[in-house]
Amino acid sequence: MTISHHTIGTGAHKVLVLHDWFGTSAAWGPFLDHLDPDAFGYAFLDYRGYGERLDVAGEFTLAEIAADALALADQLGWDMFSVVGHSMGGKAAQRVLAEAPRRVRKLVGVTPVPASAYPLEGDAYDLFHGAAHSPANRRAILDLVTGQRACGRWLDAMTARSVAGSRPEAFAAYLADWTTQDFAAKVTGSPLPAKVFVGEHDLALTAEVMRGTWLAHYPQAELEILANSGHYPMYEIPVAFATALEAFLRA
């Protein structure tokens, strides 16, 4: 099976990029315009049930995302690569590491879900689990994770893009998986260079959460708190985020 994807750049440092629960390979915002195409070769994957793979059948799990990501690397002829994952994609990136530790060069989590379980309770459970079939719930989640600072026009556009770019059954299944899966034991202690970015206004995946998970799991991990950003730095602070991301990849 040929895996469709988007690419940017032809540089020697190869980077697999995994999107969030709401996004697609094409939904990384204006920060794409500021990536260095000479130093890096980026490949952006769509998950099954999303984007250009909207109609591709699957189980819609993190394990499946990792398997497809590794298959894409094989398809591209990449023996080694870095992995960048946003939110749910940050957990999927860690699953890639768990499955193929010798192939991963560097690991980057962007406002990422940890490798441990991330349980939702009470109102949060209802809000997130109702989002598969409710655009209003999706909009409310976007508003929450960006610190209730974003304009209505942006929230509406992101909501519409999410609804159009994902199948409801895939959206629901991925949520059930990324909130319950716990494979922290498979990655804890990895000496891999790792970087975690969180937005100062993200009300869900906070710096405190990262210190108790990502920084505890990866001895070489470093944390950067992004000013003037919430959960979507690729939209909220595109130039600053692209600069910070590539500074870590270059180091």
As beta bridge partners, residue 84 has 17, 108
115-140 average pLDDT score: 97
The count of domains in the chain is 1
Averaged confidence pLDDT in the chain:
97
* Per-residue pLDDT, 234: 98
Is beta strand 194-199 parallel, antiparallel or unpaired with respect to 221-226?
parallel
DSSP codes of every residue in 5-25:
EEEE---SEEEEEE--SS--T
198-217 average pLDDT score: 96
pLDDT tens digit sequence for 33-61: 999 999 999 999 999 999 999 999 999 99
Residue 121 in this model has a pLDDT that exceeds 90: yes
CB proximity list for 186: less than 8 A, separation 6 or greater: 98, 115
As beta bridge partners, residue 13 has 40
Give the confidence band of 124 by pLDDT, cuts at 50, 70, 90. Answer: very high
Residue 1 in this model has a pLDDT that exceeds 80: no
* Per-residue pLDDT, 201: 97
Give the confidence band of 128 by pLDDT, cuts at 50, 70, 90. Answer: very high
The CATH number given to whatever domain includes residue 222 is 3.40.50.1820
Residue 78 is part of which domain span? 5-250
As a whole number of angstroms, the distance between CA 54 and CA 49 comes to 4
* Per-residue pLDDT, 172: 98
Q: Which of 174, 96, 111, 170 is nearest to 146 (CA)?
A: 111
* Per-residue pLDDT, 2: 86
CB proximity list for 188: less than 8 A, separation 6 or greater: 115, 216, 217, 218
pLDDT tens digit sequence for 56-94: 999 999 999 999 999 999 999 999 999 999 999 999 999
The one-letter amino acid code at 203 reads: L
* Per-residue pLDDT, 4: 87
